[in-house]
Chain A
Amino acid sequence: MTDSIASDLEPVGTPAPARVDHPAKRVAKQFVEDPVAVVGLVLFLLVALVALLAPVLAPQNPYDLAQLDIMDGGLPPGEASFGTGMTYWLGTDTQGRDMVSAIMYGLRISLFVATVSLGLAITIGTVVGVTAAYFGGRIDSLIMRIVDLQLSFPAILIALILLALLGRGVDKVVLALVIVQWAYYARTVRGSAIVERRKDYIDAARCLALSDRRIMFRHLLPNCVPPLIVVATVQIAQAIALEATLSFLGVGVPITEPSLGLLIANGYDYLLSGRYWISLFPGIALVVTIIAINLVGDRLRDVLNPRLSS
């Protein structure tokens, strides 16, 4: 409301000095106003920390076969090991693997795959999107054609087909996720960059003979950051879920490096026979991670979208 007052009136006196915070500071300030989002952020940081420090925190290395005891296979939560006497708080799988450790390591792989693919997809998407917006014309319509074409097919279908052709592997899953995701970022970046592109100051910058690259990345790109952050928070949760789904279907990560999705798949066969913990606890870890990211993402979207936050 105050905006319209200011814009309607031609001020002749000195306007009241507006308080100008750094945008990031403003966002942070508004972000913490929502306690639910703060809980989400704390949860996510905890999850990330566990994943990062899994080798230090985990009671055992679940993939060192020497540390496994087949005698301990299929123990329910809270049982103690027959050999070492350590307590399996979340039970063991059929090979006697401590589920706490397996989950920590699984989380590590899940988050690794998601963040690496996120980083690559953002980079590719941003470069492509800014290029399309800046040059416009044929380059733009060609790029956007490709993006639209890809986005008209469900992500899971594309990923599944790629992996069916490529085979299993952490690197292959990352590749599939990047291919699936880059188009979202390209579209987002292009969308906000093209709005900015039409503004006069870009023409002014061109008149100053600034290099294309400089205009693209110093002038256009910063305006794309807020929507990019919003899309990224949604997409990283989607990436984690997609990786889990692919691994659950048996086309994702290999058995030697099981992510949460593969842990769930491994336990799935025992679900009906009552050994629910092998599947359920990795599932809960997955769900907590995804919910935490979504809580953060939802709040960020509200804070970064000026239309809804007013």
Chain B
Amino acid sequence: MTKLLEIEGLQTHFFTRDGVAKAVDGVSLSLDRGEILGLVGESGSGKSVTGFSILGLVDPPGRVVGGRIVFDGADLVAGGERMMRGLRGRRIAMIFQDPMMTLNPVLRIDTQMIETVRAHADVSRAAARERAREALVRVGISSPDERLESYPHQFSGGMRQRVAIAIALLHEPDLIIADEPTTALDVTIQAQILSEVQTLCAEAGTALIWITHDLAVVSGLADRLAVMYAGRIIEAGPTAGIIARPAHPYTKGLIESVPQGKRHGTLLKQIGGMTPSLLHLPRGCKFAPRCPRADAACDPEPPLAEIAAGRGVRCVHPHLEAEESAAS
């Protein structure tokens, strides 16, 4: 069976007054049906732009300038707006970061849900409304009839995100792109939403791309991880393997900067320096200026090389298993 989604060499650039910002520059990744991929990176690493590129929703001055995005056999970059619109909301849905901002404040919830149903299905208003109601029930919203007639501002943040998730699930899509959907929520709500999304996706066999800067959140959720830095994937592979033995110095840094119970009392490690400006990227490996292992070999930039089955890393001096055991 073919992959659900295959991205090859995606380049999305923003043509700003100060120059071209290469927000995404040569990203390749793939996704099976029902698989959950964690796309991890700091702000500005290009992870959200990758998500928007898949949906064809990159706003000017941004533009996909290269690469292919093949979804279920069809090239989305070449497909054009008409095809994209047919896919959006029906086969590929998206959940945004800030639930306060994603629902239109002047439209009632039922309007916003019914229009989504009717955008892709030729059904009566009543039937569409019934589907909306069911979707609300599915995401655990009580008294859905009353809720349908409310406006977004009458909901709490967590409830709004549930509505957004319900909207994303309306057409039982093959793929949901979730752009930091829990970042703006309280920790307890975060956990609830997380487990609900996981359950719902497992039930329906929906693949999920979970975009986040928070390794802790995604490590319990994703089958595989892809770590992004400065518009590139610098490490990818099965979640367990990466968490246990990160190969890229940046990934290692990220993991070590996550607070953990057992390291209580010890100082958290930090990654020195700052993410580079996308307008003025360094030559060679983009992480080199901040990397403790960097040397002359880091220029030119290394390719994403396979170090084990399904594990790729873009580094000339990766932390390898053999080396780890030798050191200990």
Do A and B touch, yes or no (CB under 8 Å, in the complex)? yes
Are B273 and A11 interface neighbours, CB within 8 A? yes
Which of chain A's residues has its CB closest to B273's CB? A13
Decide: A8 near B277, CB < 8 A? Known: A1-B21, A13-B272.
no
| Chain A residues whose C-beta falls within 8 Å of the C-beta of B275 in the assembled complex | 5, 9
Q: Is A2 an interface residue (CB 8 A)?
A: yes
| Chain B residues whose C-beta falls within 8 Å of the C-beta of A8 in the assembled complex | 42-44, 213
Count A-B contacts at CB 8 Å.
38
Please list 25 pairs of residues, one from A and one from B, whose beta carbons are closer than 8 Å in the complex, sorted by A's number.
A1-B21, A1-B23, A1-B278, A2-B44, A2-B277, A2-B278, A2-B279, A4-B43, A5-B42, A5-B44, A5-B277, A8-B43, A8-B213, A9-B42, A9-B43, A9-B274, A9-B275, A10-B270, A11-B274, A12-B270, A12-B272, A12-B273, A13-B273, A13-B290, A16-B274
Q: Identify which of B14, B42, B290 gathers the most chain A CB atoms within 10 Å of its CB.
A: B42
Q: How large is the interface on B (under 10, 10 to 19, 20 to 34, 35 or more residues)?
A: 10 to 19
| Chain B residues whose C-beta falls within 8 Å of the C-beta of A12 in the assembled complex | 270, 272-273
| Chain A residues whose C-beta falls within 8 Å of the C-beta of B273 in the assembled complex | 11-13
Q: Is A56 an interface residue (CB 8 A)?
A: no
Within 8 A of B (CB), among A89-141: none
Q: Is A15 an interface residue (CB 8 A)?
A: yes
Bound-state Cα–Cα, A9 to B278, Å: 15
Which of chain A's residues has its CB closest to B257's CB? A10
Contact with A along B262-296 (1 / 0, CB 8 A): 00000000101111011100000000001000000
From B43, B272, B290, give the contact of A5 (CB < 8 A): B43
Contact with B along A1-39 (1 / 0, CB 8 A): 110111011111101100000000000000000000000
| Chain A residues whose C-beta falls within 8 Å of the C-beta of B270 in the assembled complex | 10, 12
Nearest CB on A from B11, distance (A): 17
Bound-state Cα–Cα, A11 to B271, Å: 8
Within 8 A of B (CB), among A122-171: none
Which of chain B's residues has its CB closest to A30's CB? B17
Nearest CB on A from B13, distance (A): 12
Within 8 A of A (CB), among B17-58: 21, 23, 42-44
| Chain A residues whose C-beta falls within 8 Å of the C-beta of B279 in the assembled complex | 2
Q: Which 4 pairs show the lowest CB-CB distances between chains A and B?
A: A5-B44, A8-B43, A13-B273, A13-B272
Which of chain A's residues has its CB closest to B14's CB? A1
| Chain A residues whose C-beta falls within 8 Å of the C-beta of B44 in the assembled complex | 1-2, 4-5, 8
Bound-state Cα–Cα, A220 to B14, Å: 37
| Chain A residues whose C-beta falls within 8 Å of the C-beta of B21 in the assembled complex | 1
Bound-state Cα–Cα, A1 to B280, Å: 13
Bound-state Cα–Cα, A22 to B137, Å: 57
| Chain B residues whose C-beta falls within 8 Å of the C-beta of A16 in the assembled complex | 274
- Besides A5-B274, A10-B270, A12-B270, 13 more A-B contacts (Cβ < 8 Å) are A1-B14, A1-B23, A1-B44, A2-B44, A2-B277, A2-B278, A5-B42, A5-B44, A6-B274, A8-B44, A11-B274, A13-B290, A15-B274
Within 8 A of B (CB), among A168-190: none
Bound-state Cα–Cα, A104 to B43, Å: 58
Bound-state Cα–Cα, A29 to B270, Å: 39
| Chain A residues whose C-beta falls within 8 Å of the C-beta of B274 in the assembled complex | 5-6, 9, 11, 13, 15-16
Bound-state Cα–Cα, A11 to B272, Å: 7
Bound-state Cα–Cα, A1 to B278, Å: 9
| Chain A residues whose C-beta falls within 8 Å of the C-beta of B43 in the assembled complex | 4-5, 8-9
Bound-state Cα–Cα, A212 to B279, Å: 45
Bound-state Cα–Cα, A233 to B273, Å: 44
Bound-state Cα–Cα, A151 to B290, Å: 57
Nearest CB on B from A240, distance (A): 33
Within 8 A of B (CB), among A32-65: none
Nearest CB on A from B290, distance (A): 8
Nearest CB on A from B282, distance (A): 12
| Chain B residues whose C-beta falls within 8 Å of the C-beta of A1 in the assembled complex | 14, 21, 23, 44, 278
Bound-state Cα–Cα, A10 to B257, Å: 11
Which of chain B's residues has its CB closest to A10's CB? B270
Nearest CB on A from B274, distance (A): 5
Nearest CB on B from A61, distance (A): 50
| Chain B residues whose C-beta falls within 8 Å of the C-beta of A4 in the assembled complex | 43-44
Bound-state Cα–Cα, A6 to B276, Å: 9
Which of chain B's residues has its CB closest to A14's CB? B273
Bound-state Cα–Cα, A6 to B290, Å: 15
Bound-state Cα–Cα, A230 to B277, Å: 31
Bound-state Cα–Cα, A8 to B43, Å: 7
Nearest CB on B from A14, distance (A): 9
| Chain A residues whose C-beta falls within 8 Å of the C-beta of B42 in the assembled complex | 5, 8-9
Bound-state Cα–Cα, A4 to B44, Å: 7
Bound-state Cα–Cα, A248 to B43, Å: 59
Nearest CB on B from A29, distance (A): 12
Bound-state Cα–Cα, A6 to B275, Å: 8
Which of chain B's residues has its CB closest to A5's CB? B44
Which of chain B's residues has its CB closest to A11's CB? B274
Nearest CB on B from A174, distance (A): 42
Which of chain A's residues has its CB closest to B274's CB? A11
Bound-state Cα–Cα, A182 to B42, Å: 48
| Chain A residues whose C-beta falls within 8 Å of the C-beta of B290 in the assembled complex | 13
Nearest CB on B from A272, distance (A): 50
Which of chain B's residues has its CB closest to A16's CB? B274
